[in-house]
Amino acid sequence: MIGYDEALALLRAQCARLPCERISAAQALGRVLASAIDSGEDLPPFANSAMDGFALHAGTAPLAVGTQWDVLGASAAGDAQAAARDGAWEIMTGACLPEGMDSVIPVEQVEVLARDAEDRPRRIALRADVTPGQHVRARGEDVARGARVIDAGTCLAAEHLAVLAALGVAEVDVVRRPRVALLNTGRELVDDPRQPLAPGQIRNSNGPLLGARLRAAGAELVAQQVVGDDAQAFVTALDEVLASRADLVLSTGAVSMGRYDFIPDVLRAQGARILFHKVRIRPGKPILLARLAGGALFFGLPGNPVSSVVGLRFFVEPALRALLGMVHERALRVRLANSAGKPVALRRHLKARLHADAQGQLAVQVLGGQESFKLAPLLQANAWVVIDEDAGEVAPGTLVAVYGLGHLQPAALEGALR
Ligand code: AMP
Ligand code: MG
């Protein structure tokens, strides 16, 4: 049986970046940039005032408190650049600095000595020294034309959209969303929540859990089906979902050692190449990766809900990152608040809750109820703790690896589900 690092290397070797598409920048929230953005403009686009006040020419030396100036005009945000001569120029925040002016004194720091018929200031006295260049936002001070502003592989957030808008970027190249199909196997499964359960039946919770997690991870869910435990029905369903041109096919269940765990044999019979089956992890050890004859990558996730979501979080999501051209994810290191439980020779993935301790320091608590069939503890979890297979006994106070619930949802204090 291989370990996690070896499995992940095998997996990543199968995931080249997907092709890109050009879309409107306004529609690009949550998409991953395929090519870097270099600014074609200066931001701010012109020197402007950081305050409501008066623009002055200082040159190289400060202007002294007490000096008096005639006010020769006024500029507001949106006005074209004025050509000022000597004297002072009334100016509002964001207004273009008049030609020849280099400094701004805030309105609170002047005394208005005279006003015109419309009550506009005509003559002022400085109530503070003026340092050359003060309260001026220089052209390109925020982003210089030609500067690299967003790297390829960045998942675009609201702040990126703001910078793209500020720089007049109308369209961006993003990586096509990975197309994912999901098959939930199990003759015991009932999909319709209104249908009463017959003896022996349970409801399909993996479908909604993995479907929603996939969407949150930047994938497009292109097909989803529930299939019984017979090989022929599975082959038919597989053909159907492959018609949706999925890049990845995920199944849950039927992948371990039971009599109805038919997936490895069926895949081989269909001409798939099994890349690995079983990894030294808990939960979810029976996980399987294969390349289907038609080219799609196949993940066989075990059926227990937490096993399937660990398979998704720690195998499928790294694959999605590679397909999207994103850098490898790195764990946070956070102090463990309690015991991580008995050591085992498997890499463990533990439902956990990140919180601030009594001193306000970040700490992470391993939650009770780690059994892989238990869904309810997931509602307390806002993070995963990962313990390496060779870690031995992990005492409280040790720094441990912490991951968010999804690769696009970094571990955070908030975010527990209740
Ligand atoms: P399997 O991997 O098929 O042996 O399933 C392991 C356990 O997970 C069994 O108790 C199944 O009933 C359960 N299980 C399988 N698929 C699902 C599902 N889609 N939703 C909830 N539980 C499931
Ligand atoms: Mg099953």
Distance 172 CA to ligand 1 centre (A): 42
Distance 303 CA to ligand 1 centre (A): 4
Is residue 56 classed exposed, middle or buried when 0-12, 13-18 and 19+ CB atoms within 10 A define those classes? buried
**CATH class for domain 48-137?**
mainly beta
Residues within 5 Å of ion ligand 2, judged at the Cβ atom: 186, 253-254, 303
Give the torsion sign (CA, 367, 369, 371, 373). Answer: negative
The CATH classification number of 4-18+176-323 equals: 3.40.980.10
The CATH classification number of 332-403 equals: 2.40.340.10
Closest CA to 370 of 338, 395, 396: 338
**Residue 284 CB less than 6 A away from ligand 1:** no
Distance 285 CA to ligand 1 centre (A): 14
Q: How many CB atoms lie within 10 A of CB 363?
A: 18
Residue 229 sits at φ, ψ, to 5 deg, of -95, 40
Distance 275 CA to ligand 1 centre (A): 23
Reading the chain (418 residues) residue by residue, the pLDDT tens digits are 999 999 999 999 999 999 999 999 999 999 999 999 999 999 999 999 999 999 999 999 999 999 999 999 999 999 999 998 789 999 999 999 999 999 999 999 999 999 999 999 999 999 999 999 999 999 999 999 999 999 999 999 999 999 999 999 999 999 999 999 999 999 999 999 999 999 999 999 999 999 999 999 999 999 999 999 999 999 999 999 999 999 999 999 999 988 889 999 999 999 999 999 999 999 999 999 999 999 999 999 999 999 999 999 999 999 999 999 999 999 999 999 999 999 999 999 999 999 998 888 999 999 999 999 999 999 999 999 999 999 999 999 999 999 999 999 988 776 555 4
Considering the segment(s) 20-43+141-175 as one domain, its CATH architecture is Alpha-Beta Complex (3.90)
**Residue 365 CB less than 6 A away from ligand 1:** no
**Residue 406 CB less than 6 A away from ligand 1:** no
Mapping DSSP onto H, E and C, the string for 85-133 reads CCCEEEECCCCECCECCCEEEEHHHEEEEEECCCCCEEEEEECCCECCC
Cis peptide before 44 (omega within 30 of 0): yes
Integer Cα distance of 310 and 350 in angstroms: 9
Integer Cα distance of 111 and 303 in angstroms: 77
Q: Name the residue at shortest CA distance from atom 16 of ligand 1.
A: 303
Query: Do residues 249 and 181 touch, judged by C-beta distance below 8 A?
Result: yes
Ligand 1 atom closest to the Cα of residue 207 is 19
Instruction: Identify how many contiguous H helices and E strands the chain contains and give both numbers.
Output: 7, 26
- The full set of domain ranges for the chain reads 4-18+176-323, 20-43+141-175, 48-137, 332-403
**Residue 184 CB less than 6 A away from ligand 1:** yes
